[in-house]
Chains A and B, each alone.
Chain A
Amino acid sequence: MSVLDLDHVFFLLIVNIGIAVLWGNRPFVGKILTLLYILEGLSILTSYHVLLSGAVLSSSLTFTVMQQTVQWQLGVSGGFFALITFMAAGLATWFSSGVWARSYAPIRLLHSYMALNVAAMLLLLASNDFLGLFIAWELVSLVSFLIIAINGGRSAKAAYSYILYAFLGAMAILLALIIIWNATNSFSYVEVRHHWSTMSVNRQLIVVLLLITGFGIKMAILPFHRWQAPAYAYVPAPVAAFLGAISSRMGLFALFIVLLQVVGIDVIQTLWLPFEIINMQTFLLWLAALTLIIPTFIALRQTDARLLLAWHGIGQGGFMLLGILSANALGTAGGIMHVFNHASYQAALFFAVFSVSYRTGTADLDRLGGLVTRMPISFTVMLVGIIGLAGLPPMNGFVSKWLIYKALLDEGMPLLFLAAVIGTLGTILSVYKLIHNTFLGQLRLEHENIKEVPWSMSIPMMILASIVFITGYFPGLLLESIAAMQSTLGISVVDYHLGGVNTGKGNLNMIVVVSTMLMAIGMGALIFFVLGNPRKQVTQWDNYAGGHFLTSDMRYQYSHNFYPGLMRVISPLYRNTIFWLESAIVSTVQFMAHISYALFMQANYLLYLILLVVISLLWVLAV
């Protein structure tokens, strides 16, 4: 296959948008769009070896304004993220192309907004100077506003709060851009990196803080995380999977490029917050650690499965940032790999939750239970997903978590290692609550004749689950492109092999670990099935209840308030300070608006004018 450059991909994207907008609600169009996405992914994959060697996919989309040439070309890091985007978009459209489409009225809107989103994201991934980055950034925020607000009602409110946060971020980035422009009067990364030291130290500090605020908002870093959970939870299934998988990672990509390539991690280490309290890197790491812990423990209290997963998306975003900023080859590799891993199992989990709500009509954990016998495929996908999300060995989530833990330990940050582990433990607790309340336990009467979701919805789920397992088994597939990314960014490269990583002090070979697990499970099965006598399956009523005859009017299931002991101990810690901060700001704005409106509606304006004139005259005469 000839090396396709970026124009082909852009062309395909435009075709995508065209088809989605014109014939969005035709039945077969979903499949065509999925094929298109996959085609785009393949086109990047075919020219991927070029990217790996450090070259760049150039595109003819350039223009010069104010002596600045803005050019779009796709590097290896952009390519990696683009692959994830196309994977997520392709599978999401596949999920929505089958039977599900008939159950969702504005399907045309969904397809067109999805196509617009993918195009905007590719534009962002391909930008390689600040101006191009900002233009693409604004487009991405606008288009994701559209896709979040697709369901109206609750999601429209969430979209409105999102767009306000997005504009706050955009203005922060614009301010940073302007300050950079003033110092280096050019927007290209190379120039900026070259002239970076000309800026005064506290000017550098302001720029870095502004950039982190701007990109952090999209990534839902701690103080700005309140918009993401409702925004990603109340949207239809494919949108939730797509957003959960990749949309908030655009902020991470931009931060990754800006902080590591342009500013450089060594500069961040030298920058000190005012009064020499803490250097910038430690401040960011602790911010990331808090972003990991607090949303995860908020997720623990949710009773709606979609909200639980959305809060976990925020938590894992913090985990990725922790990896990227750890200034260690393993850490950055772990951070980027976690982007891919999280994309795969978050999408799988969203699909599983939505297929349950497609069949039972609700995603509320208190009104589900015992569906494993009726929906086995969704159960296996959710099982693979939660093992990935919790980061347990056979799945890929473990590899990236291991890399980040190893980096934190090697860098000598034990307390951060502890914070990361607390986050992971919180995840394990809440994912078990998710799978227990939906699939395990007593089956409800009204769910007796529930069937599995149709193939068009379960195949994408299974593909994602297999991706999670395969990349867990052979992490080398990902590490190869991550190493290439690290070399293009000029940071220390991780030495990898197909099975994992060999550092001097404690290495990981996932091929050995996973094959031993499979062998051990084989031995366990052997012991269990051969040595023991044949087993007999019993109904859910044949259960020990202290001699009481089980009747189905009194539900024999424990699912509400799943961790009472833990909640009693940690509930004083939930003070949602950020919520009060946010509503305080909103009320001040409304108050000032009221005052200024009243100012203009004055009846006797002339009196005040004359008074003003008299005062100014007096002032002039007095001086």
Chain B
Amino acid sequence: MKDVIPIQTNNTETIAVSKNSKNIYQQAIDTFSNFCRARSLFVLHYCTGCGAIELPPAMTSRFDMERLGIQPMVTPRQADILLITGYVSIKTLKRVILTYEQMQGPKYVIGICSCTVNGGMYWQSYATAKVLSEYLPVDMYIAGCMPRPEAVLTGLQQLMKKIEKGEANSWENYFKRYDYYLGNQQHLFGDTWHTPTDILEEARHYHLYGAESTGNNTARLIKYTVEHDLTKLDAPLREKDSMTKRGKK
């Protein structure tokens, strides 16, 4: 078990929700739902890099994730955990962000392999994103240049403990501090970068609209959306080139 290096990311300090603000029934429901959330996790392993090969052995007879209540799922809609395994190139990061936004909260991101921690082996490559947590709120890092299945399972079990305690709500940060994330994304992909899911409107809908949700980055995006009238049905057609070739700084 030596090489299990679960690390605590720094920029995911959640704004601690004081426990006693809600009434007793609310608390009971929350604890029970966290209890269930911990026990049943659906994993979407987005095989971005080489770490994905560690997951099949985690699911089959030797390590058997199912006994922890974890099932592999095919589409982001049905998944709770997004496993980013291995280096994330800029092109793949766009798809990863789109997939992340298509997932339903409470959702968790686990960065397996050290490439997601600090760039790993490809640290000095111009094409890879070095720190995943700048673009997505990452719950758990499992370092190792391909951690063994035991490491993955331990990491998952630790995440389950966090969920049970109700602390694993870094997904809310994506809404609450959307400006920070958008800024980093625009830094990479250019100012007109956006995905079909309207994060701000969803933040308002789920009452996760914090102070930091909007800032100058989102302002630029909103101005762009209004200017190009993206609500119309044929917007994606007009945006066809801009989506893939975005990124002029």
The answer to whether any beta carbons of A and B sit under 8 Å apart in the complex is yes
Interface residues of A (CB under 8 A from B): 443, 445, 448, 534, 536, 538-539, 541-544, 547-553
Instruction: Please provide the chain B residues from 206 to 249 with a CB less than 8 Å away from any CB of chain A in the complex.
Output: 206, 232-237, 239-240, 243-244
> From residue B149, how far is it (CB to closest CB) to chain A in Å?
25
Of chain A, the residue at the smallest CB distance from B76 is A544
> From residue B26, how far is it (CB to closest CB) to chain A in Å?
13
- Asked if A549 and B233 make an inter-chain contact with CB atoms under 8 angstroms apart, the answer reads no
- Asked if A542 and B95 make an inter-chain contact with CB atoms under 8 angstroms apart, the answer reads no
Of chain B, the residue at the smallest CB distance from A442 is B233
Across the interface, A542 reaches (CB within 8 A) one of B196, B205, B235, namely B196
B102 at interface (Cβ–Cβ under 8 A)? yes
Residues of A contacting B: mostly: loop
- Asked if B77 and A544 make an inter-chain contact with CB atoms under 8 angstroms apart, the answer reads yes
Chain A residues whose C-beta falls within 8 Å of the C-beta of B239 in the assembled complex: 551
Across the interface, B233 reaches (CB within 8 A) one of A538, A547, A552, namely A552
- Asked if B236 and A549 make an inter-chain contact with CB atoms under 8 angstroms apart, the answer reads yes
Chain B, 49-82, contact with A by CB distance < 8 Å: what is the 0/1 string? 0000000000000000000000000011100000
Report how many A-B pairs have Cβ atoms within 8 Å.
49
B99 at interface (Cβ–Cβ under 8 A)? yes
Contact A553/B237 with A542-B197, A544-B77 known, Cβ cut-off 8 Å: yes
- Asked if A549 and B205 make an inter-chain contact with CB atoms under 8 angstroms apart, the answer reads no
> From residue A278, how far is it (CB to closest CB) to chain B in Å?
54
> From residue B242, how far is it (CB to closest CB) to chain A in Å?
10
B98 at interface (Cβ–Cβ under 8 A)? yes
B202 at interface (Cβ–Cβ under 8 A)? yes
- Asked if B102 and A549 make an inter-chain contact with CB atoms under 8 angstroms apart, the answer reads no
Contact A552/B237 with A544-B77, A544-B102, A547-B95 known, Cβ cut-off 8 Å: yes
Apart from A445-B237, A538-B196, list 5 A-B contacts with CB within 8 A: A534-B205, A536-B205, A542-B196, A551-B237, A552-B234
Whole-angstrom CA separation of A534 from B205 in the bound complex: 9
- Jot down 27 A-B pairs with beta carbons below 8 A, ordered by A: A445-B237, A448-B232, A448-B233, A448-B234, A534-B205, A536-B202, A536-B206, A539-B196, A541-B236, A542-B196, A543-B196, A544-B76, A544-B77, A544-B102, A547-B95, A547-B98, A547-B99, A548-B95, A549-B98, A549-B236, A549-B244, A550-B196, A550-B236, A551-B237, A552-B233, A552-B234, A552-B237
Chain B residues whose C-beta falls within 8 Å of the C-beta of A538 in the assembled complex: 196-197
Chain A residues whose C-beta falls within 8 Å of the C-beta of B196 in the assembled complex: 538-539, 541-543, 549-550
Give the 8 A-B residue pairs with the shortest CB-CB distance, closest first.
Answer: A547-B95, A542-B196, A541-B196, A551-B240, A552-B237, A551-B236, A448-B233, A544-B75
> From residue B101, how far is it (CB to closest CB) to chain A in Å?
8
> From residue B176, how far is it (CB to closest CB) to chain A in Å?
17
Of chain A, the residue at the smallest CB distance from B96 is A547
